[in-house]
Amino acid sequence: MAHFYKRLLDESEQQHEEAVAATVHKANTVKGPQGPMPNLTIVKPPDFTPKSDAEIARAAREQGKDVELNDDNQIVDKRELLSAGLNLSAPNTRRLGLKTATKDGDAKPVEVHRAVGTAASRQEINERRLREISTQMEEEQSRQAKERQERQREAEARFVARRNDDAAVQTALERYQERKRRKLDAAGEQKT
């Protein structure tokens, strides 16, 4: 029996050594293209510089297209600039380094609002907020005026109700005095 187990262990050890040798041989063989490692870094093309809307509008006007710019030198309607193919609707408003040329030739940075769903300048946002605040102030003043008028009406109604009560008291007093006078007259006639 000992001889049988020894032989079994020798065979399993030989199979294990063959498997290890096969994996080592596979690891040493190189698959794929041979040669120097290629450069896989992504480089921006040298001619890729984003143009401002003013430059795009100037080029379109030279081609005879009618393009309008707003106060912030942004193109109002881009349908004139569209060509066949894939047309993206709005420029990337998250570019903070965007600069446009002014009439004086100086370049000033455009204030770009980075909130989701808006592409408004800071000036437009401030104007909208001022309009909202002024409408709220007007609504508050009208509400206060209505409250003041309502309080005045209530005070007048209380005063009128109190006057009616005073008149009722006065008539009751007059009736009492009339009854008292009759009693005194009746008592004076009985004595005589």
pLDDT in tens, 135-185: 999 999 999 999 999 999 999 888 877 766 777 788 889 999 999 999 988
Report the alpha-carbon distance of residue 81 to residue 60 in Å, rounded.
Answer: 7
| 130 and 183 co-located in one domain | yes
Least confident piece of the model among 9-18, 107-116, 170-179: 107-116
What pLDDT score does 75 carry? 79
pTM of the predicted structure, to 2 decimals: 0.27
User: Among residues 27, 61, 81, which one ends one of the domains?
Assistant: 81
Please state the rounded mean pLDDT for residues 40-60.
79
What pLDDT score does 122 carry? 81
Please give the C-alpha separations between residue 57 and each of 38, 51, 79, 91, in angstroms, as whole numbers: 42, 10, 12, 14
Asked, for residue 66, whether it belongs to a domain, the answer is yes
Tell me how many domains the chain contains.
Answer: 2
Asked, for residue 151, whether it belongs to a domain, the answer is yes
User: Among residues 81, 101, 127, which one ends one of the domains?
Assistant: 81
Asked, for residue 87, whether it belongs to a domain, the answer is no
Most confidently modeled range among 41-45, 73-77, 82-86, 134-138: 134-138
Pick from 60, 55, 59, 61: nearest CA to 74: 55
Query: Whole domain around residue 61: which residue ranges?
Result: 51-81
Report whether pLDDT(102) > 50.
no
3: amino acid identity, one letter: H
| 131 and 185 co-located in one domain | yes
Asked, for residue 20, whether it belongs to a domain, the answer is no
Torsional class of 112: left (φ above 0), alpha (ψ -120 to 50), beta (otherwise): beta
Report whether pLDDT(79) > 70.
no
Asked, for residue 137, whether it belongs to a domain, the answer is yes
Asked, for residue 89, whether it belongs to a domain, the answer is no
Asked, for residue 123, whether it belongs to a domain, the answer is yes
- Decide if 121 contacts 110 (C-beta within 8 A): yes
Note every long-range contact of 137-141, with CB atoms under 8 Å and residues 24 or more positions apart, other chains counting: none
Q: Which residues is 101 bridged to in the sheet?
A: 107
Instruction: Look at residue 99 and give its three-state secondary structure.
Output: strand
Please state the rounded mean pLDDT for residues 65-79.
77
